[in-house]
Chains A and B, each alone.
Chain A
Amino acid sequence: MLNAVLPLGFLTPGRDAVVRDVVGGKELRQRLCEMGFARGSLVRIVQSQPCGPLIISLGDGRIVLGRGVAQKIMVEEVDN
């Protein structure tokens, strides 16, 4: 059950995934880290606007991410 690692922005809405890595500059990585995007945390796309921002479910909270940011979070789909 090896699943591909893909950017969060490409994840199918509603599917659960696990954060594998955050790429990008130091500042962005630190910001995402303090918001809870740690390696191993469970994420899901709750809602997305075409070409617009996404609402992500992370732990017990909801976080809005711009498209560009969502491409920097690498996730792995989990089977649910």
Chain B
Amino acid sequence: MSVATSAVATKPLRKRFNAGALPWIGPAIAVIVLMVLYPAYTMIKTSFMNIDETGTSHGFTGLSNYRTLFHNPNLVPVLERTLIWTVSVVFFTVIISLPVAQVLHAKFPGRRLVRYALIVPWAASVVMTSTSWLWILNGYYGVLNRIMLSLGLIKDQVQFLGSPTQSFAWLILVAVFVSVPFTTYVILAGLTTVGEDIMEASTVDGASGWQRYKHITFPLLRPALLISMVINLINVFNSFPIIWVMTTGGPGYSTDTTTTLAYKITFRSADIGQSASMATINFAIILVFIALFLKVSRWKEND
């Protein structure tokens, strides 16, 4: 008892914080342990185990799952594609969101309505959005084919999701469509922090519109932009539903990313161990992204 009291006396804040906060942070800790740490632990453990397709475990096999994965002929193209996918979706999202946010920041009649409208693709379930696009693009009955035929833009029906390159381009387009609202809102929030007085002052100093944007608005937007980019990187990298609903990664494996490949290895090729090692590598890549995110946040704090 006496020892405890002296500890409280020397480090009062810390000690009291630990004991007192536990009931409050307990549920959060429990959720993190049960829903994040335990599954991650199981995933990593599984990647070192030999589990057959019936779900029976045959014990540890060392690195053999990783060896199988590295010999998988689809791995390298899929990794390359995942990089293209993530970078291009995030790039186009930001490029489109910047002007859109600028428009929504300006005052015009009906702005509130336009702002609400932009939330719709964000609020709608991604599976729902992707399913709509799947049917819009359908090669036999799709409405896009109908419109383009009527306008005389095409002579024959086009299988928009037929060839690997074309369907991958459509996937990127849909992913950008789904990511733009969130990004726009983050940038919009950033824009509201840009003080009116600075803008007025620069106008008085004779700065043109573009100069004001380049030298004042854009630099002040950097924190918002970085955060939205990192969150988007993580989201897009892990994105499963758009690809799965629209192409199931096909034809073949030609529109798969690492996430859909991991799913296919389990549920199509019935190789749970190899899939777990794919998921573990995915997890490692995401950890790098998160480390980046933390660094970015701290950079903002110090600023």
Are A and B a genuine interacting pair, yes or no?
no
